[in-house]
Amino acid sequence: MKLKGTKIVLNSIPAGIPKKDDFRLKEFEVNEPVDGQFLAETIYLALDPYVRVTMVGRHFFSTPKEGEVPRGSTISRVIKSRNSNFNEGDLVVMESGMQSHSISDGKEVHFVKTGSAPVTTALGILGMPGFTAYSALLGPAKLKKDDLVLVSAASGAVGSMVGQIASIYNARVIGIAGGEEKCEWAMNNASLDACIDRKKDDIDQKLTELSQNGVDIFFDNTGGDIQNIVLSKHLALNSRVILSGMISQYNSNKPPSGPNLGNICKQRATIYGFVVYDFEHMRESFVKDAVDWYEKGLLNYTEDLVFGIEKTPAHFIKLMKGENFGKTIVQFMDL
């Protein structure tokens, strides 16, 4: 008799902010791995904003159809292997998506390497979000001492690592976050020198006060109005803009217009459409540096973790409404 698994499938492609009705829970029969494959069970599922983008076909990852399983990074345990690189019991980070079991050929699968840090950090500060901050800052953004760095969604999984890494490199960091609580957390934990509350402050005016000559690096996780204001008026000469995420528009089917690019010429700025998957060559140095920083007590993080696969849709909706706080994770089973 075949093993039974559980998965979340799309009832319909969400319009606007996803609703619970857009998802349903479904049982399925788990297949056996064939030669070269392994079977893994999901322990932790990370919920990340890019998953919403795939649902409307604006991501380079494939678009899930109705009845299919949405994507998602997971910490999984190998339970049966016919691939000589993976053994039963191995903990790996992979893209299993919103399901209890999945089969892989081992491509783009990484072993969990978190040193003395908790396993879930492999989905956060020591995983894809941390690696995104690291490879963008030290790669195209050319982070250097005394740079003025501006990061949007500064309390988020990526944003809070941007602040902390920039600070380790002795740059100054301004964050933008949504609400007093997130600003306070980011000031205390994400090494910010100042935080702008996008729900209360006039962003344009605050940036004028905080950065006379504009910012050297703008690490953008939100897009939208924040991006328009910064790109039009607050870039320093020869500044670097990292387009890492545009969560402000992930729920809309028709993206709004963007900033006029005249100021990009004037400031001789560069805008990078940044995708972490292009920076595999930096992964080894990232893991080494990040584990080292963690063990020296230099990295803070917070998690918003719930237990039970059935809680996945509600937790994802919370993330897409901006109501989450810290790295959004669903635990499917005990470690």
List interacting residues with a second copy (CB under 8 A).
58-60, 140, 223, 227-228, 237, 243-246, 249, 255-275, 278
Smallest gap from residue 189 Cβ to a second copy (A)? 27
> Whose Cβ is closer to a second copy: residue 132's or residue 164's?
132
Q: Helix 157-168 vs helix 128-138: angle between axes, to the nearest 10 degrees? A: 40
Angle CA 132–319–323, to nearest 5: 120
User: How many residues are there in the chain?
Assistant: 335
Smallest gap from residue 133 Cβ to a second copy (A)? 16
> Whose Cβ is closer to a second copy: residue 33's or residue 70's?
70
* β-bridge partners, 45: 74, 330
Q: Name the CA radius of gyration of the chain, rounded.
A: 20
> Whose Cβ is closer to a second copy: residue 116's or residue 257's?
257
Smallest gap from residue 232 Cβ to a second copy (A)? 9
Smallest gap from residue 138 Cβ to a second copy (A)? 17
List all residues 6 or more positions away from 213 whose beta carbon is below 8 Å from its beta carbon.
Answer: 236, 237
Smallest gap from residue 279 Cβ to a second copy (A)? 11
> Whose Cβ is closer to a second copy: residue 63's or residue 83's?
63
Chain centroid offset of residue 233 CA = 27
> Whose Cβ is closer to a second copy: residue 84's or residue 257's?
257
Distances (CA, A) of 305 to 13, 25, 147, 328: 25, 19, 34, 6
> Whose Cβ is closer to a second copy: residue 1's or residue 265's?
265
Smallest gap from residue 145 Cβ to a second copy (A)? 22
Paired tokens of 71: 């994507």
- CA 295, CA 269: separation in Å to the nearest integer? 36
